[in-house]
Amino acid sequence: MNGLLYAVGGAHPSSGAAVATVEAYDPKANSWVRTGPMLTSRGSLGVAVVDGILYAVGGYNAFGTLTTLEAYDPAQDR
């Protein structure tokens, strides 16, 4: 999206706990930038982009399976 690659959620490497982290990779600058986090930690989620908005769908966290979605607007970094 907008020339960037996004890494959304996932699991902490040492604990395996779901994380709320969102990071963007800029291949032109060869660098990663942490963006605004998700409101909910999510692992094993689905991600899609529609009309410039990144959506994080479902997944799991310490409380169980998630049936919710979140939207990230890169123009507003939230």
Residue type, 67: T
**pLDDT score at 77:** 84
φ, ψ for residue 58, nearest 5 deg: 65, -145
Contact 49, 55 (CB under 8 A): yes
Nearest partner of 44 among 72, 65, 22, 75, judged by Cα: 65
End-to-end, the C-alpha distance of the chain in Å comes to: 15
Give the torsion sign (CA, 65, 18, 75, 5). Answer: negative
Q: How confident is the model at residue 78 (pLDDT cuts 50, 70, 90)?
A: confident
**pLDDT score at 62:** 92
H/E stretch holding 26 reads strand 22-26
Write out pLDDT tens, residues 28-64: 999 999 998 999 999 999 999 999 999 999 999 999 9
Whole-model pTM: value is 0.87
